[in-house]
Amino acid sequence: MKAENHTGVAQFFLLGLSDDPELQPLLFELFLSMYLVTVLGNLIIILAIISDSHLLTPMYFFLANLSFVDICFTSTTAPKMLVNIQTHKKGISYIQCLSQVYFFNTFLGMDRFILTVMAYDHFVAICHPLIYTHIMNPWLCGFLVLISWVLMLCVSLIHNLMMQLIFSTGTEIPHFFCELAQVLKVTRSDTLINNIFIYVTTVLIAMFPGSGIIFSYSQIVSSLLRMFSTASRYKAFSTCGSHLCVVLLFYGTALGVYLSSAGNHSSHESSVASVIMKTESSVASVMYTVVTPMLNPFIYSLRNEDVKGALRRILHRAACGSLWTTDLRTKGIL
């Protein structure tokens, strides 16, 4: 990025969610709590999976990766937003902004790919149960995750390398983090090539994974309809129920972000309409970047008996360890 006619530290200014000073402490406490719950909840899911031999299956391997990506996804935006709220500053350096764009795009794409791979895993488990272990072998699972990482890291890098743009000093971004589309809106350079690349990658990285999920679940529904046993149908559906909830939440909030940003871009009727659109866009973005990663651990832990069982075993071992330590101290051994 190039800044035009600037002196001192080159930076952007993130306008954030609200300029009301009275709301800043409330926003800080709210988003700090949500961020801590997101990190802690996803870490617990990862710990439960890697510490329980019952969960060493492809489905939970992908779930552990999804939890890791969700932690990274939220950590891309939330810490900087919390720092700005606490310090009453809005500045973000060009390097930090560029880094946010890079990692946000990477982890956003990883969320899409992992959800798609999880849908494929459920499709194979329900529609081809006899050859499930042969198809979803450890090599294929690792390869699917690895190729997703390589693809998203490369695509995000290309986005950043194409951002040889000119910005005025003190450029304001009407958002609480540096999103690629918002950054391109405030540049003084021609962004035609950038926008074309965005549209192309959106089709490849959003439409194809979404189509893969739709295809997988269409085959799953078709298979469920052919089952004569109600118990078998319920068991098969419960296998993918949590994943389906996460998919609907993820793509539902993503659609909300797209619609609100499109409305904000096209609304020039009045200042009141503009404010309303901006508020809706901010709320949709918060749901997309903070709320969805926070809810994922609860969805999987509350709806999944295997995960709940693993969490109970972890708590039991922790309780036994605590009682054992207390007993040793009582006897004077420790």
The maximal CA–CA distance of the chain, rounded, in angstroms, is: 77
| Global confidence as pTM | 0.85
**pLDDT tens-digit readout, 11-46:** 788 887 777 778 888 888 999 999 999 999 999 899
pLDDT confidence band for 330 (50 / 70 / 90)? low
Q: What is the pLDDT of residue 27?
A: 87
d(CA 69, CA 269): 40
Q: Read off the pLDDT of each residue in 258-285 and give the average, rounded to a whole number.
A: 54
Contact 18, 176 (CB under 8 A): no
Residue 206, CA distances (Å) to 108, 112, 216, 255 in order: 10, 7, 16, 11
Residue 300: is its pLDDT beyond 60?
yes
3-state SS class at 167 = strand
Q: What average pLDDT does the chain have?
A: 81
Q: List phi, psi (to 5°) of 138.
A: -55, -35
pLDDT-derived band at 268, boundaries 50, 70, 90: very low
CATH 1.10.3720.10 matches 10-307: no
Residue type, 68: F
154: pLDDT confidence band, cut at 50, 70 and 90?
very high
CA angle 49, 53, 56 (to 5 degrees): 60
What are phi and psi for residue 153, nearest 5 degrees? -65, -40
Mean per-residue pLDDT, 215-236:
81
Q: Region 258-279: what's the mean pLDDT?
A: 51
CB atoms within 10 A of CB 63: 28
